[in-house]
A and B are shown apart, each in its own frame.
Chain A
Amino acid sequence: MPRQSIQKYLNNKYLAYLIAGLFLLISILLGISIGTVSVPVPTILHIFLAQIFGWIPLDKIDPMYVSIVMDIRLPRVILSGLVGASLAIAGAAFQGLLRNPLADPYTLGVSSGASVGAVLTLFLNIALPIIGTFTLPLLSILCSFLTIFFVLAFARKIERSMRVETIILTGIIFSSFLGALISLMIALTGDELRQIIGWLLGSVSMRGWEYIKIILPFSIVGSGILFLNAKELNAMSFGEERAHHLGVNVQKRKLIVLTAGSILTGAAVAVSGTIGFVGLVIPHLVRIVWGPDHKHLLPLSVLIGGGFLILADLVSRTMISPTELPIGVITAIIGAPVFAIILIERKRMERRG
């Protein structure tokens, strides 16, 4: 089995973090460097050192480069990195909790739920007092939270054992319904459709530092909560009853994990629209290479997920430049086949044993 040998070779956890970290770093540099105007990597590093640390003067650098890096590409790369990381770790957590390798914010319908919240805020111009700009993520989070609970309650109603396929099917039903709801809302507001559809398929373009401020706190809080529940996720991936026997306070932990997952998904959708399959592909990949232990699966998913979405964004804006593809198109092109492969693998395993 090649898988086994890969796992053994890369079993060293320090090496795992080193590789994942390098992947993220290279993705960031590529993301900033490549575009209609390409910025050489040394120049990028120079600008970083000057702008962020103030160690060296900026004299010799073209101000256009500085503007491209600091105002356009860096915020974009950071934003896509944060969105990718959030979606990947949320997917890993949902999968562990539901013992379902096909679960991710998108297939569960949570992203669609978050979209409803975001569309409500964006197109109806809702701004709650006091929280101001945070109305968008908070409403998205609230809607994701409600969606995941409805999906799980519904799936349990269909079938007490909550088979993998049942949950996914329920997620698709909710996705379709919520998607239709969004279309209806958009049609009623009568805005320009192209822009809205672009947003719905997911995009991280032209968001600027403002959006990073919106997502950052939620990403940190959500990921932090999940890191602290890695052990419980390990136990729960053997089934809730067994987790209970092992001493896990299942009801409490489940609520915490679902909340954290909703926070991450809601915040990501609020700033970038629905980007599918990141939460499915990344944890699956990390699991194949480094094993399913959530203590490492979660942080590695963050690193790889961030890097992956930065690269996906790079492809989406350079492939048919100067036109930009929605980033969700790229992730779906990669993600949907992976989804199919996992499904086939699962069926094969069920037949075997």
Chain B
Amino acid sequence: MLKLKHVSGGYSGEVVLKDISFEVEKGELFGILGPNGSGKTTLLKMISGVLPYQSGEILIGGKRLQEYSPKQLAQKVAVLSQHSSESFSYTVKETVSLGRYAHQTGFFQTWSKQDEAVVQRVMEQVGVGAFQNKNIQDLSGGEKQRVFLAQALAQEPEILLLDEPTNHLDLSYQKELLDQLTQWSSENRLTVISIFHDLNLAGLYCDRLLLLENGKINIQHVPAEVLKEERIRKVYQTSIQQHPHPTVAAPQMVLLPDIPVVKPEAEINEAMLSLSSEMITLRSPVYLRTMSSGVIGSGTGWHRTFVNRHVDKNYNCDDHIQEMAEYLRSNGYEPIDTVGMMTAVFLEDVVVKRLEGEGFSLVVVVTAGVGNAIDASKGEAHTYGLVPGTINTWIFVNGELTDEAFIQSIMTATEAKTKAMFDLNVMDGVTGTTATGTSTDSVLIAATQMGRKLDFAGTITPLGKLIGKAVYQCTKEAIQKSQKRKSVC
């Protein structure tokens, strides 16, 4: 559809773009990225024919750009630019109708039925039909942008060029516009070429990306290839980190602020724990990076209060997450800051251990009840049911953990727990085999992300050794306590 061959050029005398070659297929959503001054807008101006290029060739539909008359070109290529200025108060419809200019021929350029139909259709498409008789000067920035998008679409182009289309739009319109563009490009085979400032939006929506650096192509490839942490860091000269999108297979970038963070020196210790018959709470002075399987605050995140709540054995609630959140709130805890777990175990039986490693330390807090102990290898023998009364394990690490270390910590902790069950000969009541845990166990790893960097937490790494030891001892002790209570009763 569009082909650039060794194109160079720029403004009078100054060469902005050097040797640009790329090709865009019909129906593609093609993104152009680059830092300020890298030549993105210049490139778009050359393709739209506003700015002549000095050497090379631009082919649209196999025909050279210069061979098109302005009207012919406008039937092929429409542009939605970043700035819109309107000195006079045209109505929305008058504005959109101008998009038909290139299609009106003959001496008097009469307005045909088809012109009217197209204008009405595109106004509906972008959702400005309802206010077609309003003055554009009375519209908001986002509405104006959509009016001009309708104008561009009224040209019925094969290629749509966009210069940072989401610039003036708020979050929901950004998404709406890009969703629509994606839909049109796949349904109507509309080729969309757009400049993006927002790397994450580009990564989410574009089929392919072109990264410009100082007027030259750095790379053109699929988003996953272009949006590599190292590359973006180098081209944009800023610190960013790549992380995966939670639901879509698209790379996302986050900025790393260079503010010298004065972190208060914080070390988690037993003294921060408070215990009542209703809950065990730990309040951290700083936010801790967590990975957990609680009722509230599960998954990964940053939290600073940790609650293990006692509930009755027969606790039953349709929406236990909602109930738990309300419970926390009524006790003065902000659910968003909190990892919350539940247990039917008597909280006095909690076991806490603090162990020192070289340059780091950890605090382990375990409550255990083995009322519904289960052999994980024979789980299918059980029916599903959420029974509180379980082994809840908290591991606080005064150190900096990698994601890998977090996962290994969980593995190590689980293995240590299982070993404790084994050594105490806890049986699965249904299968009569040794249990490996209970059906509702929860685990929390929380790290201050300060102090020594701990890359791994496998069973024989410094951190893993400590976790294994502490969790084993705590779990064993806690189970013994709960068993003792049972036998007393």
Contacts and interface: CB of A to CB of B under 8 A. Distances in A.
Given A245-B48, A245-B74, A234 B98 contact: yes
A81 interface: no
Given A239-B85, A241-B50, A349-B137, A246 B102 contact: yes
Contacts of A242: 79, 81, 84
B87 A247 contact: no
Interface string B22-63: 000000000000000000000000001110000000000000
Interface string B85-123: 111111100110011011010000100000000000000
Interface in A233-255: 234-235, 237-239, 241-242, 244-250
A99 B87 CA distance: 6
A242 B82 CA distance: 11
Contacts of A101: 87-88
Contacts of B79: 242, 245
Given A249-B70, A292-B88, A293-B90, A244 B101 contact: no
A238 B49 CA distance: 17
Given A234-B94, A245-B79, A247-B102, A99 B70 contact: no
Interface string A222-238: 00000000010011011
Contacts of B84: 238-239, 242
Contacts of A241: 50, 81
Given A231-B109, A235-B98, A349-B137, A245 B88 contact: no
Interface in A94-124: 96, 99-101
B81 A235 contact: no
Contact of A235 (B48, B69, B85, B101): B101
A101 B137 CA distance: 14
Nearest to B134: A4
A244 B102 contact: no
A244 B50 contact: yes
B341 to A, nearest CB: 53
Contact of B98 (A238, A250, A291, A349): A238
Contacts of B49: 244
Contact of B88 (A235, A248, A287): A287
Interface string A80-104: 0000000000000000100111000
A89 to B, nearest CB: 16
Chain B interface, DSSP helix/strand/loop, else mixed:
mixed
A235 B104 CA distance: 13
Contacts of B135: 4
B145 to A, nearest CB: 13
Contact of B101 (A96, A247, A250, A291): A247
Contact of A246 (B85, B90, B98): B98
A246 B153 CA distance: 11
B71 interface: yes
A236 to B, nearest CB: 10
B75 interface: yes
B177 interface: no
Contacts of A292: 88-90, 94
Nearest to A228: B107
Nearest to A245: B79
A255 B102 CA distance: 20
B283 to A, nearest CB: 49
Contacts of B137: 349, 353
A287 B89 CA distance: 9
A250 B151 CA distance: 18
A135 B95 CA distance: 43
A247 B74 contact: yes
Given A245-B78, A293-B94, A237 B69 contact: no
Nearest to A292: B88
Given A234-B98, A238-B85, A247 B90 contact: no
A7 to B, nearest CB: 9
A235 B88 CA distance: 11
Interface string B131-173: 0000101000000000000011001000000000000000000
Interface in A287-315: 287, 291-293
A62 to B, nearest CB: 48
Interface string B415-443: 00000000000000000000000000000
A244 B87 contact: no
Contacts of A234: 90, 94, 98
A238 B86 contact: yes
B7 interface: no
A237 B87 contact: yes
B73 interface: yes
Interface string A265-296: 00000000000000000000001000111000
A100 B87 CA distance: 7
A291 B70 contact: no
A40 to B, nearest CB: 43
Interface in A323-353: 349, 353
Given A231-B98, A291-B90, A292-B90, 14 more contacts: A99-B87, A231-B104, A234-B90, A237-B86, A237-B88, A241-B50, A244-B70, A245-B48, A245-B79, A246-B151, A247-B71, A247-B75, A250-B70, A293-B90
Q: Which 3 pairs, one residue from A and one from B, show the smallest C-beta to C-beta distance? A: A247-B74, A247-B102, A292-B88
Interface of B: 48-50, 69-75, 77-79, 81, 84-91, 94-95, 98-99, 101-102, 104, 109, 135, 137, 151-152, 155
Interface of A: 4, 96, 99-101, 164, 231, 234-235, 237-239, 241-242, 244-250, 287, 291-293, 349, 353
25 contacts: A99-B87, A100-B87, A231-B98, A231-B104, A231-B109, A234-B90, A234-B98, A235-B98, A237-B86, A237-B88, A238-B84, A242-B79, A242-B84, A244-B49, A244-B70, A245-B79, A246-B101, A246-B102, A246-B151, A249-B71, A291-B89, A291-B91, A291-B94, A292-B94, A293-B94
